[in-house]
Amino acid sequence: MVKLRKILLSDKTEFEKHHPSKDIGCESSFAVNFLYAKDYPTYIGNWHNRIAIAKPPNLLYYPLGEETSAKELAEYAEDISNSGFKFEYIYNVPPDFAKNFPDYEKYFSLVENEGEFDYIYQPDSLAELKGSLLRKKRNHIKHFIEENPNWCEDDITQKNLDDAQFFVESRSTAFERQAIETAFENFFELNLSGIILRDNDGTIVGTSIFTEIADGVYDVLIEKSDHHTRGASQMLVVLQAKKLRELGAKLINREQDLNLPNLRHAKKSLDPIFLYKRVSLVPKNYARN
């Protein structure tokens, strides 16, 4: 039996202590799990010195901590099931799991969903936007600078936090608002960082919030820009990459495209260096609750 309870802000230290250094996926980030815990009720507990994460009714996460073999993962699934938590499959399984544990087929069926892959970028590439593929983005930025010669960038601080929140919320969907509210309410406790882009008149036209999810790997949690201001979104991406580079970023995770065509196009247009291809596993050998 595994005792599971709702995730709390106070779990951050223990959660991050178990985070594998090679796991650069956004779904293993404490911030991501905490921000969306009200939209997707999130339960955690201890399982063999690993952190179990369950999101009923369908998701059981691959446990955080030392690498878990296929046999151990089957035992993990059984233990969670016996604890009364429903799930359909094990989510956020590392991309190299099948290679490392080829016997997984005795216990699970493997499923891939392209919409669940994270887009990974080099900070230098986004900061400089070099190459023919990114020419249009450079042109948009040139237009922004010409129209806004006195543009400026600010770090998000206690002083401008409310202004940043108002801008982000005014451009968010209904689904995003709970996570955004949680992010701003716990901005400093979560050790989040962010930048604000202002136009020629000092009006906010872009805001980005990010967090470190592994050593030198940063996740872009929130990114909103004024689509009526040409070049603002492209300028925000460049400034964000430069800021993350200053913070020591080696890689930038811009999360999934969720199988949305426009979002997929936007992420591919920034020329990722690779995709973090997490997989899911459907248990074979026991009845789910």
- What's the pLDDT at 289? 42
| Helical (H) or strand (E) element with 121 | strand 118-121
pLDDT string in tens for the chain (289-residue length): 799 999 999 999 999 999 998 999 999 999 999 999 999 999 999 999 999 999 999 999 999 999 999 999 999 999 999 999 989 999 999 999 999 999 999 999 999 999 999 999 999 999 999 988 899 999 999 999 999 999 999 999 999 999 999 999 999 999 999 999 999 999 999 999 999 999 999 999 999 999 999 999 999 999 999 999 999 999 999 999 999 999 999 999 999 999 999 999 999 999 999 999 999 999 987 544 4
Report CA-CA distances (Å) from 143 to 147, 223, 230, 233: 6, 20, 7, 12
Instruction: Using alpha carbons, select from 238, 15, 257, 224 the residue that is nearest to residue 120.
Output: 257
Q: How far apart are CA 210 and CA 193, in angstroms?
A: 5
- What's the pLDDT at 237? 98
Residue type at position 11: D
- What's the pLDDT at 1? 76
- What's the pLDDT at 67? 96
Q: How many residues does the chain have?
A: 289
Q: Residues 198, 272, 24, CA angle at the centre, nearest 5°? A: 95
